[in-house]
Amino acid sequence: MTVSTQTSKSQYTGNGVTTAFTGSFRILDQTHITVILTDLSGVDATQTLTTNYTVSGVGGATFTVTFVVAPTNGFGITIFRNVPLTQGLDLVLNDEFPSTEIENSFDKATMIDQQLKEAQDRSLKFPVSDAAGLATTLPTVTQRASKFLSFDASGQPSAAAGATALPVSTFMATVLDDLTAAAARTTLGSSATGDALFIAASASAARTALAAPGLADVNSYTAANRGAITALSDASTVTPDFASANNFSLTIGGARTLANPSNQTAGQSGAIVITQDGTGSRTLAYGSNYKFAGGTAPTLTTTASAVDVLVYYVESASRITATLINDVK
C-alpha cells in the first residue's frame, strides 16, 4: 500500500462517551503512534498503549484508537505518527527480492520524513526571505540562564550578558506569574508596563524606571478615579466593611444601628446614602466610633423614601468624623 497522504496527525475533542477515534493516516505498527490527552487547563498527558488504549486496523489507510475509558468531555485528543528512527531490513546477498519488505521500508522512510516535517513546521524558523548568515544557534546555557530571549539590531537571537540583555529578576518573576492585570497591579502597586519593568529588582525600581506612580507616591491624576457604591443589607445592626468600598447605600426598614465598621483604617473617607423605606419614620443609632459636631448624633429625615447622606472621614482606628446631610432632594 502506498503512503497516499501527508497527514501524520489527527485531533479530536472528548465528549465523555466516545471511546473510538480514527487515525486518518497509515501506520506499520501499533507502536508507531503517540496518543496525548490535553485537560481543560491545557496540561498534556501522554497515554500508554494497552493501559490507556488499544490500536486496530494497522497497515490500512486508517486505523482506530480505542480508549479503555472515554476521554473526559472537553479534553483534547491528539494522535500522531511517531515512527522509531531505525532501519530493521537486512538484505541478504543472492536471496529472493523481498518486494514487500522493501516497500514497507520505503513507506517507513516516507513516514519518518512526514513526521520530521510536522516537527519542523511547528518550530521557530527564519523566513526564507531573510538574508543568509543569521545565527541558528542560541547562546550557551550559562549565557541564557535567567535571561529573556531577545533579538539584537541585526535580528540575531540574543540572551547573553551585556548591555542588551534582559535579565529576569527575582521580583519580576513574581509579576510574570500573575494571571490578571489586577494581580499585576497589586504586585507593582501601579499600572506600569514596558521593557524597563522586566529588569527592575523591586516594585519601587519598576515605577521609577517607568515614571509610574505607586501607592506610596504623591499622585496627580488627569482623569476621574471612581469607587463602586456597595449596597449594605438592611438589618437591626448594620456593619459596613470599609475594606470593600468607600461609598455605600442603605435602605432601612426599621429602627437600626450603624455599627462601628470592620477594617477601619485612618485616612479613608466616603459617604453612606441612607434611604427610608416606603413607610418611613425609621431611626438610626450609631456605633461609638462615629463622632459628630457638638457630640450629638443627628436625626434622620423620617419622611417615607427620604434620603439622607452620612459623610465620613476616618481619623483613626477608633474615631470617624461624620456629618449628616438631611433630606437630600
Contacts for 160 with CB less than 8 Å, ≥ 6 apart: 139, 143, 144, 147
CA–CA distance, 258 with 274 (Å, rounded to integer):
11
pLDDT of 89 reads 83
What pLDDT, on the 0 to 100 scale, is given for residue 125?
A: 80
The Cα 314–Cα 261 span in angstroms is 10
- Cα angle, residue 317 at apex, residues 310 and 289 outer, rounded to 5°: 45
Rounded to 5 degrees, φ, ψ at 196 are -60, -25
**Contact between residue 290 and residue 259 where contact means Cβ atoms under 8 Å apart:** no
Q: Which residues pair with 71 in a beta bridge?
A: none
Instruction: Give residue 194's pLDDT.
Output: 44
Which neighbouring-strand residues pair with 56? Answer: 64
Q: Which long-range contacts (CB under 8 A, 24 or more apart) does 224-233 make?
A: 227/270, 229/273, 232/272
Asked if 138 and 159 touch (Cβ cutoff 8 Å), the reply is: yes
Number of neighbouring beta carbons within 10 Å of residue 218:
5
Residue ranges, the chain, pLDDT below 50: 161-163, 190-195
pLDDT of residue 154: 75
Instruction: Please list, in sequence order, all residues whose beta carbon lies within 8 angstroms of the beta carbon of residue 125, skipping any fewer than 6 positions away.
Output: none
* Buried b or exposed e, range 156-183, using 16+ CB within 10 angstroms: ebbbeeeeebbeebebbeebeeeeeeee
Q: Among positive and negative, which fits the CA dihedral 49, 51, 55, 56?
A: positive
Segment (H or E) for 66: strand 63-67
pTM of the model: 0.48
pLDDT of residue 210: 53
Q: Which pairs from 295-301 meet CB under 8 Å and 24+ separation?
A: 298/323, 298/324, 298/326, 300/274, 300/276, 300/324, 300/326, 301/276, 301/326, 301/327
* Residue 182, phi then psi, degrees to nearest 5: -60, -40
- Looking at residue 163, its pLDDT comes to 45
Write down how long the chain is: 329
Per DSSP bridges, beta strands 63-67 and 307-316 are: unpaired
